[in-house]
A and B are shown apart, each in its own frame.
Chain A
Amino acid sequence: MSKVLEARVVRKTFEEGSQRVEVLRGVSLDVTRGEIVSLEGPSGSGKTTLLSIMGCILTPSAGEVHIGGQRISGNDKALRDARRKSIGFVFQQFNLFPALSARENILYALGIKGHKGAKAEIEADRVIDAVGLTDRRHFLPRDLSGGQKQRVAIARALAGSPEVILADEPTANLDSATGASILDLFRDLARSENKGLIIVTHDPKVRRVADRVAGIADGLILPRAHAA
């Protein structure tokens, strides 16, 4: 299977005052189409930094990121283009626009990604149907439950057909039943939409839907990564 997203020997160092903190120390991770990778590790292990670098939000201090086999250079425009075209994000805090309805949240994201007009409307309706929120599409986020908000966020991430979806603690703010339904949705969508999916999590239940589990600690991928 071809790798849709790959981090190769990535290092990341932050400067805090006079101190240099190496958060990632040569990490490699990849995901293929239709595959779900669960990235697990304790707080401060570097998993969110790795997600940010693989999501082209941060640039690595050393190492490379490849999307669809193409190396992503470190300039702002290249990173932004990669985020627009190839990556969908799902956040722990949902990060929906509170003034926009569910459908408008998706339409706005599609607009940022360069999709406009009737095609964007059709795409918005398609992804909102895919997450099962057709009857809630005109609701504002404040009128949706936590699970429904996360479904909107997933639909927004899917909109425009990115190659890979990166999810940061997507079940952390949800109760067990809702979290389980969101994970089922991820599994179904990864298969039906043929997307690579990396889920950063503390939640052991993610393993139920993951094809592969990668452990990270102290800025290094643990050697005993294993399939669920």
Chain B
Amino acid sequence: MVSLARKNLLHDRIRFAITLAGVAFAVTLVLVQVGLFLGLLGKATVTIENSSADIWIVAKNTPNVDFGNPFPETVFLRARGVPGVERADNAIVQFVNIQLPSGATENALVYGISDPAYWNLPWKVEAGRAEDLNRGYNLMMDRSAVLRFGGFDVGDYRELGGRRFRIIGRSAEAESFTTTPIVFMDFGNAQSLLEQLSGQTTYVLVKVEKGFDPKEVAARLRPMFPFNDVHTRDEWAAASRGYWIESTGLGMSMGVTVFLGILVGVVIVAQTLYTSAVEHIREFGTVKAIGGSNWDIYKILGEQALIAAVCGFALGAGASYAVRPAMASLHLTVLLTPQFSGVVFVGTLAMCLAAALFSFRRVALIDPALVFRG
């Protein structure tokens, strides 16, 4: 059967272009904003996701991985004795002052790791070797530090917490949620930077033996450490994400953005479809006069809404993917996964069909007898 819906859309090209622009704008807004949000959240948990630790033992009520609180460093020894634990080591995550060549003082987020290579922190090394971190006052700085700390080379020296460190390598992808650059060093060196960390650690990293379920091992560890929280990797990542979403209002902000995006899409699509329906009332009256039902007209409007959704999504998604390199050059990650894109696609279909519903009531009231009016 001839598609009156498609033909009418192509016949009213300007209106169709406006509809597509509305849908594409809504899709781009949602994809880019939520993609940025997801990219930012990814930074909040990037060290948790990439380290080889299956379980993190943290001080009670530690809100997220960047805000480590100290507790006695001997805890890891008891953890090592638990069945299913392959290895447990101390780790420090702490903000420390860094002196820059410009004379300015900035904050660095120091990750002090007992065996960096084993714990896969850092996980992506562009220059140097993680194994060399515990051979003296050495550190490895992430390439993203260039934005805040200025340029640096392997072999340069920087002063952290009043102590001089040699940069022996450069990592990549280790960016924190707060944009504070991450610096990797040996656990002992990190511990010596701040007086309050003497004899203390902020985390115990636990690797579970093969064949053991991290959840079961974590359940065994919890009663042993009543003054600590014990999280599996997923639980700790979820807690860290949840902290930033709730405490910063970022979740609400994203919710409002998504709502506005959908609202813009619905209003534009509904408005253009409704105007189109009103302008084609005589045609719809003719459809009814020759024996068509309301359903035949709903199908026309629904098909137009779906065509607008598919084409508008393609344009919006294309624009969102195209903008990613530009955003990356600004050190902003727009995380667009196939799953997320799929959800937005289904949402776009639903949005456009919902917008079409506004016209359904109008066309349902069309009197086919209007075709006899001159």
Residues of A near any B CB (own CB < 8 A): 48, 51-52, 55, 57-58, 80-81, 83-85, 89, 91-93, 95, 97-100, 104, 107-109, 111-113, 116, 120, 156, 168-169, 172
Contacts and interface: CB of A to CB of B under 8 A. Distances in A.
Contact of A172 (B7, B290, B374): B374
Given A58-B369, A93-B282, A111-B2, 11 more contacts: A80-B292, A81-B291, A85-B291, A92-B374, A108-B4, A112-B287, A112-B291, A112-B296, A156-B290, A168-B372, A172-B374
A99 B10 contact: yes
Nearest to B287: A112
B8 interface: yes
Interface in B219-256: none
A57 B368 contact: yes
Contacts of B285: 95
Interface string B341-374: 0000000000000000000000000001101101
A52 B290 contact: no
B283 A95 contact: yes
Q: Which of A57, A81, A85, A111 has the most CB of B within 10 A?
A: A57
B4 A99 contact: yes
B210 interface: no
Given A89-B371, A91-B372, A100 B290 contact: no
Q: Majority SS of interface residues in chain B?
A: helix
Contact of B286 (A95, A107, A111, A172): A95
A91 B290 CA distance: 11
Contacts of A57: 289, 368-369
Interface of B: 1-2, 4, 7-8, 10-11, 282-283, 285-287, 289-293, 296, 368-369, 371-372, 374
Contacts of A99: 4, 7-8, 10-11
B374 to A, nearest CB: 6
Given A104-B7, A108-B2, A112-B287, A95 B292 contact: no
Contacts of B4: 97, 99-100, 108
B6 to A, nearest CB: 9
Contacts of A116: 1
Nearest to A88: B290
Given A81-B291, A84-B290, A84-B291, A100 B2 contact: yes
Contacts of B371: 89, 91, 93, 95
Contact of A83 (B282, B283, B289): B289
A52 B291 contact: no
A172 B374 CA distance: 10
Contacts of B286: 91, 95, 97
Nearest to A96: B286
Contacts of A172: 374
A49 to B, nearest CB: 9
* Top 8 closest pairs, chain A to chain B, by CB: A84-B291, A111-B1, A99-B11, A99-B7, A83-B291, A95-B286, A108-B2, A112-B292
Contacts of B290: 83-84, 89, 109, 112-113, 156
B308 to A, nearest CB: 16
B7 A100 contact: yes
Contact of A95 (B7, B10, B282, B293): B282
Given A98-B11, A108-B1, A112-B287, A93 B374 contact: yes
A97 B3 CA distance: 11
